[in-house]
């Protein structure tokens, strides 16, 4: 499928109207044309033409008659959720997952491919293209029915130009034109977004953020990052907004991968906890992680050890939760959001981290603002980034080519 190119003002307005009508039918269907006119404020001809267009594209179906308000019974319209599909890809230093979703957001296929920090851009692109072919074949979906591929990748990146700039922990990835490479390899339209932003988009589309206009999502995993939605729009700044993991919490703290000292990420990320665990074990602290101290202690090991009752792991997670709580409180004060979503393995799977973060996040924020915010953990599971990536394409289809998340 070719990318829809907007060539002029009337074309743009036609596309926006089409998205507007389609979104109302998605959210409120089965719904009559008259109701679509009432909700959108569009006139008779515009709605009639847009619906005819959508039916011709198989995106909308007529499904029987509604109740009459005097005259003829109106024909009801509904979304055809399997008319098209969207793909989401989570690309991380050591993880590569591709998911296929229908237009109602149901996961209809998933494939995980090998990926390590040394996987080159060419190899990764080839594996994503292979994964796309596999997941489509397994689900029996032809590529012509795919609306696009959304990719959630580590920053910093330029979402506009689709270029991955200098992702830490990915060897040999500098200024990679990932969108172009993936469009060539898959033949699909591709959208690239920083992982935190994609995850925030996923919460708006699928999760706790539905109908929320101001939300911050914080990912607490091997690294720490955030996505920001302000006034219903993703906020990217000049491209790099959301680097909450590199806010300084301890002026003289440990050195961070960014070159600074005492960043949240250097104190509370999975990588940081692993380093700290190994150091404490070398100094004689008892732990069931001792055997791993030389080969490397990862996020997964710490979560498993804490669950098995290991005191060192539990203490480290407690400290992670405390640091995260301060970051949450600072975020509440800075942005006054309605919602903060905590995602990533440390926040989603450790009750200790979550409890501490909620407690301190509220206690240390400005009281009035603290009372206005809901703080929750993501309910989208391990694949929250795959969903977030797919939601970028859904948002473009249903919300139009100009704004990702208009009200």
| Single residue of 128, 256, 268, 343 touching Zn ion by CB under 5 A | 256
Between CA 344 and CA 398 the distance in angstroms is 27
Write each residue from 66 to 105 as x if it is in contact with Zn ion (CB under 5 A), else as -, in one continuous string. ----------------------------------------
3 state DSSP class of 104: coil
Least distance in Å: CB of 258 to Zn ion? Answer: 3
56/251 with CB nearer Zn ion: 251
246/275 with CB nearer Zn ion: 246
| Single residue of 87, 218, 263, 320 touching Zn ion by CB under 5 A | 263
Between CA 14 and CA 9 the distance in angstroms is 9
3 state DSSP class of 373: coil
Least distance in Å: CB of 327 to Zn ion? Answer: 13
| Single residue of 137, 258, 334, 402 touching Zn ion by CB under 5 A | 258
Strand order in the sheet with 107-113: 107-113, 95-102, 85-92, 146-153, 190-194
Examine residue 260 and tell whether it contacts Zn ion (CB under 5 A): yes
78/248 with CB nearer Zn ion: 248
Least distance in Å: CB of 264 to Zn ion? Answer: 8
61/246 with CB nearer Zn ion: 246
Least distance in Å: CB of 254 to Zn ion? Answer: 10
Examine residue 246 and tell whether it contacts Zn ion (CB under 5 A): yes
Examine residue 169 and tell whether it contacts Zn ion (CB under 5 A): no
Between CA 139 and CA 110 the distance in angstroms is 9
Strands (E), 223-301: 224-230, 233-234
Q: How many residues does the chain have?
A: 407
256/320 with CB nearer Zn ion: 256
Between CA 394 and CA 276 the distance in angstroms is 41
Between CA 272 and CA 256 the distance in angstroms is 9
Q: Which stretch binds Zn ion (CB under 5 A): 2-10, 177-185, 186-194, 257-265?
A: 257-265
Between CA 209 and CA 107 the distance in angstroms is 19
Burial letters 56-71, b for 16+ CB under 10 A, else e: eeebbbeeeebeeeee
168/177 with CB nearer Zn ion: 168
Q: Is the peptide bond before 202 cis (omega within 30 degrees of 0)?
A: no
Check: CB of residue 61 under 8 Å from CB of residue 80: yes
Count of residues in contact with Zn ion, rule CB under 5 A: 5
Least distance in Å: CB of 155 to Zn ion? Answer: 13
Between CA 150 and CA 308 the distance in angstroms is 37
Q: Which stretch binds Zn ion (CB under 5 A): 86-94, 197-205, 217-225, 250-258?
A: 250-258
244/281 with CB nearer Zn ion: 244
121/247 with CB nearer Zn ion: 247
Least distance in Å: CB of 282 to Zn ion? Answer: 24
Write each residue from 107 to 126 as x if it is in contact with Zn ion (CB under 5 A), else as -, in one continuous string. --------------------
For 384: left if phi > 0, alpha if psi spans -120 to 50, otherwise beta; the answer is: alpha
Tokens of 349: 């799977």
Query: C-alpha dihedral over 393, 342, 256, 161, to 10 degrees?
Result: 10
116/258 with CB nearer Zn ion: 258
Least distance in Å: CB of 262 to Zn ion? Answer: 8
Q: Which residues bind Zn ion (CB under 5 A)?
A: 246, 256, 258, 260, 263
């Amino acid at each position: 499928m070719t990318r829809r190119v907007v060539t002029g003002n009337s074309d743009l307005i036609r596309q926006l109207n089409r998205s507007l009508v389609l979104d109302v039918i998605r959210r409120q269907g089965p719904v009559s044309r008259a109701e679509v006119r009432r909700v959108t404020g569009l006139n008779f001809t515009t709605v009639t033409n847009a619906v005819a267009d959508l039916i011709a594209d198989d995106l909308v179906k007529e499904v029987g008659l509604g109740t009459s308000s005097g005259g003829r019974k109106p024909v009801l319209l509904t979304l055809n959720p399997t008319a098209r599909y969207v793909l989401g890809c989570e690309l991380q230093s050591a993880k590569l997952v591709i998911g296929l979703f229908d237009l109602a957001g149901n996961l209809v296929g998933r494939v995980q491919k090998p990926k390590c920090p040394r996987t080159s851009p060419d190899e990764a692109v080839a594996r994503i293209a292979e994964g796309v072919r596999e997941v489509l074949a397994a689900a029996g979906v032809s590529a012509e029915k795919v609306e696009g591929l959304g990719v959630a990748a580590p920053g910093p990146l330029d979402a506009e130009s689709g270029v991955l700039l200098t992702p830490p922990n990915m060897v040999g990835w500098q200024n990679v034109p990932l969108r172009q490479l993936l469009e060539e390899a898959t033949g699909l339209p591709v959208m690239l977004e920083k992982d935190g932003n994609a995850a925030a988009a996923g919460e708006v589309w699928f999760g706790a953020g539905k109908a929320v206009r101001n939300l911050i999502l914080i990912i607490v995993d091997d690294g720490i990052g955030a996505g920001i939605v302000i006034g219903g729009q993703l906020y990217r700044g000049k491209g790099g907004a959301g680097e909450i993991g590199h806010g300084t919490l301890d002026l003289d703290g440990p050195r961070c991968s960014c070159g600074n000292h005492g960043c949240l990420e250097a104190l509370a990320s999975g990588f940081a906890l692993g380093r700290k665990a190994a150091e404490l074990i070398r100094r004689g602290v008892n732990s069931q992680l001792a055997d791993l101290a030389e080969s490397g202690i990862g996020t997964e090991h710490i979560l498993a050890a804490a669950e098995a009752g290991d005191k060192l792991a539990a203490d480290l997670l407690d400290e992670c939760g405390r640091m995260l709580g301060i970051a949450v409180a600072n975020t509440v004060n800075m942005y006054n959001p309605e919602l903060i979503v905590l995602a990533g393995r440390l926040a989603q799977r450790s009750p200790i981290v979550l409890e501490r973060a909620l407690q301190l996040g509220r206690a240390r924020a400005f009281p009035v603002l603290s009372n206005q915010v809901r703080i929750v953990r993501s309910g989208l599971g391990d694949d929250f980034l795959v969903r977030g990536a797919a939601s970028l394409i859904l948002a473009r289809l249903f919300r139009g080519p100009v704004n990702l998340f208009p009200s």
